[in-house]
Amino acid sequence: MGLLRIIYTSQPFGFDEATLAGILMDARRCNTRDDVTGALICRRDVFVQLLEGPEQKVRDTFERIGRDDRHVDVVLHISEPVSERMFGNWAMLHDPAQSWLIPEADPSGDALDRVRAGLVRGIFEALAAGMQPDPTG
């Protein structure tokens, strides 16, 4: 089996720093074990996550996230085979969403809809282009 990349969005349930720390700790532990890498862009109203690695391990990880009550409205946007990883040196890169993602004070309240409209791949390409590899992820 080859490498698979998925990108999904979800809404955090009960978001605070302790919840985020728990999500990142769990992700890094499980991803290291399963040879899954990726990045999580987050803020209090949206998670945008890229996962990549062996196809079945990525599918298993995504299914586990779907059962995690810290995420609601989990929506898969991209599922594609890839020849190389975008975040190969990161068990789970954490990037607190910057204003270039979607303004949090967006008066229309459609942040997730705008992410779903096709921005997700470009968001992670920009993030990967600006990052230096850090194996501590």
100: pLDDT strictly greater than 50: no
* pTM > 0.85: yes or no: no
Higher pLDDT, 18 or 82: 82
Helix and strand element counts for the chain (H, E): 4, 5
CB atoms within 10 A of CB 5: 23
Q: Is the distance from CB of 47 to CB of 11 less than 8 angstroms?
A: yes
What domains can be seen in the chain, in order of their start residue?
3-130 (3.30.70.100)
| pLDDT tens, position by position, 116-134 | 545 677 778 878 887 644 4
CB atoms within 10 A of CB 116: 14
Residue whose pair of structure tokens reads 């728990």 in the numeric block = 22
DSSP code at position 98: P
Pick from 47-56, 83-92, 97-106: least confident? 97-106
Which pair of structure tokens corresponds to residue 78? 């991209």
Nearest to 45 by CA among 78, 20, 18, 77: 20
